[in-house]
Amino acid sequence: MIKRWIVLAGEEGGPVCNKMGGIWDVIDAEARMLARLAARKEIECDLKILVAGPYYPTQGADWNKGKARVTDVSGLAPLEMNDELTSALDHLKAEGIEVVAAQTEVAGIPIGYLLFNTAYYDSIFKTMYDTKMTLANAIKTEAWQMSRLDSMQYERAPYGPEYTHYLGLSYAVSQFVRYLVSLGEEKAKKYGDEAISEFAISVMPKMRVSLHCHEFPTFYALARLKCLGVPVRTMATLHATVPGRSSGYRSLEKVAKNESSWDPNVPVGMATLESLAKYADVVSFVGDSTMREAMLFHNLNGIVIRNGIELEVSRIDWEKKNACRRKIQNFLSEKLHRVFGGEKIDPEEILPVFTISRLELENKGYPQLIDSLLLQNHLIRHRKMDHRFAEKMRVVCLLITSHGPKPREKLPEDFPINLPAEALVGEEIRLNKMIRDLGIDAGNLAAGRKQVSAVLYPQWAGPDDGGMEMRVDEIMAGCVAGIFPSQYEPFLLTGLEAGREGTPSIVSRACGFSDALNKVERLVTGLGGVVVVDNIEASHQEMILDYALALDYFTWTYLEDQVKYRLLCEESFSLAKLMNWTEPVLEYYKNLMVSSELDRCMPPVTRGFDLG
């Protein structure tokens, strides 16, 4: 009898409160899709699915002080999967490693959560090499012996607490997997007679465990298991590279020049953890650009498995789109009139578009976006010569980006149209200045001097954000188009999320999403519902012209030809449907479950690679 387990590990693994970015969505979607596939018997129906991640019990426990995550498992049920799991957890507890365990169900299949609090590893002791030391120091000592991780250097760096946490989390995950794999041998050792022990092992269930680590924080777990010789199938998935993120938009140039040196600002400890992916049986990347970076900076090779999106509806919700658009239009019209006075703009004349990202101005292409908005203003001005609709056309681009959430009670009245300097921090100030310097601020739109405006929305959008008070999906649904001009973007899940709402979008060629689009057959001829702009080989002038023309194409089509615009929305939605999670998760599963001829659940696709 064979019992199969898949453990999905990551810094963002666990309930949604552990989320920092898009990697949580990927881990959660993989776990849920595995459960659905098992329920449909498309994969091993008795598969046990576990998600391993951190546990932050209180405010201040999170190394990421800006997020200050507090892990909440109150919405989950107690863990009740089987005795083997309980036994492995008991071994961890005997070692002093506490685990918060819970579970949920998807399609009748349980998904277990194992959450580790690494903060107290400095306060419990362990004997190693005949020396009594804290668990944290024992982990670092072993990491040096096994993988030459120079923790003494890395823990002194500004990212030291983060590095120490990742090492502790990886150790806990690997210890759990180690205990789970060795359960049969441990039970057999109770028999004094060697022959009886061997017979017991032969009839006991065989534990086949696969470990899938998303991103470098847990790569030491798979490296440690390989160094210990634990028979586990491992997979490392890179969503980006640490040196690539540090170089940002310059990483494209580095790849083109085959320049493998790391920039001085690269956090060496984190990049070294990332290089441990070489110990994995399979290395995967979310896009071609990430694979090229990994080959350049780490000499890693592997396979590309794109991200996907969960789509629970079969058609566009036009009522939602129309209601959300009217809400945004009325909000902007009302706030512009309240703040700047003058003649009130008819809400239906306002065409909202949006972009949403982290606040990395150059990496996310904000300078290029703002230049293209100014250029679109000129396109509209010339269009007025022979199109009566163009005279009243007002395009408002919402730039949804922020250093972090802001308490609504500290926001000014009529936010974000009324946006005093004291409401902004850091790069928000620079971005707002860029908008004003080009004269495409909301004041010039209200005064009639411009027909295109950029409105900075420096807040985490949500129902209680003190502004439009709409969820991100509602903003996406209500906007005429989305634009994502990133200079550095490993995948761009937001492009798929816009498609899920049936909203056409413009994406840069640098986005990993554009790589995946090349492999999808288009349903509509012409530009289609997703336009890709070349921001790699094109000059700056060509790039901003292409962004402006694409944005003008969507906004003008919305005004002039609703039938055609609906077709664009349908293609955007169809692309999101085609890029669901089924295919990527099956690819993950096939590569995670490869084993001997007598012990495999489904024929795997042969995929060779050289780890270098």
Please, what sign has the CA dihedral across residues 422, 424, 425, 426? negative
Eight-state DSSP code of residue 604: P
8 A C-beta contact, residue 393 and residue 348: no
Residue 612 has pLDDT above 90, yes or no: no
How would residue 82 be classed by pLDDT, with cut points 50, 70 and 90? confident
**Long-range CB contacts (< 8 A, 24+ apart) of 339-348?**
339/414, 339/417, 339/418, 339/442, 339/446, 340/417, 340/442, 340/443, 340/446, 340/447, 341/446, 342/446, 342/447, 342/448, 345/394, 345/446, 346/392
Residue 248 has pLDDT above 70, yes or no: yes
Q: What's the pLDDT at 604?
A: 41
Tell me the mean pLDDT in the region 139-163: 96
Helix (H, G, I), strand (E, B) or coil at 168: helix
Q: Residues 6 or more apart from 570 whose CB is under 8 A from it? A: 316, 502, 523, 524, 529
Tell me the mean pLDDT in the region 88-110: 95
Residue 193 has pLDDT above 60, yes or no: no
pTM reported for the whole predicted model: 0.86
Residue 201 has pLDDT above 90, yes or no: no
Q: Of how many residues is the chain composed?
A: 612
CA gap 475, 343 in Å, rounded: 26
CA gap 105, 123 in Å, rounded: 35
Residue 600 has pLDDT above 50, yes or no: no
Q: Which domains does the chain have, with CATH numbers?
A: 2-308+582-592 (3.40.50.2000), 318-578 (3.40.50.2000)
Q: Which of 6-10, 20-24, 323-327, 454-458 has the lowest mean pLDDT?
A: 20-24
How would residue 598 be classed by pLDDT, with cut points 50, 70 and 90? very low
Q: What's the pLDDT at 287?
A: 86
CA gap 368, 75 in Å, rounded: 43
Q: What's the pLDDT at 521?
A: 57
Burial label, 383 (beta-carbon count in 10 A; 0-12, 13-18, 19+): middle
Percent of the chain at pLDDT above 90?
Answer: 73
Q: At what angle do helices 288-298 and 268-275 cross, to 10 degrees?
A: 100
CA gap 194, 373 in Å, rounded: 77
Neighbour tally for 541: CB within 10 Å: 10
Residue 342 has pLDDT above 50, yes or no: yes
Torsion of CA 231, 233, 237, 242, to 10 degrees: 20
CA gap 280, 221 in Å, rounded: 10
Q: Tell me the pLDDT tens digit for each residue of 378-430.
A: 999 888 777 777 788 999 999 999 988 899 999 999 999 999 999 999 999 99
Q: Tell me the pLDDT tens digit for each residue of 281-291.
A: 999 999 888 99
Q: What's the pLDDT at 500?
A: 94
Nearest to 172 by CA among 296, 375, 320, 11: 11
Q: How far is residue 377 from each of residues 63, 103, 115, 445, measured CA to CA in Å?
A: 44, 53, 51, 10
Q: At what angle do helices 22-39 and 582-592 cross, to 10 degrees?
A: 80
CA gap 573, 566 in Å, rounded: 10
Q: Where are the beta strands (DSSP E) in 296-336?
A: 303-304
Neighbour tally for 605: CB within 10 Å: 11
Chain mean pLDDT for the chain:
89
Tell me the mean pLDDT in the region 176-181: 95
Percent of the chain at pLDDT above 70?
Answer: 90
Residue with more model confidence, 481 or 131: 481
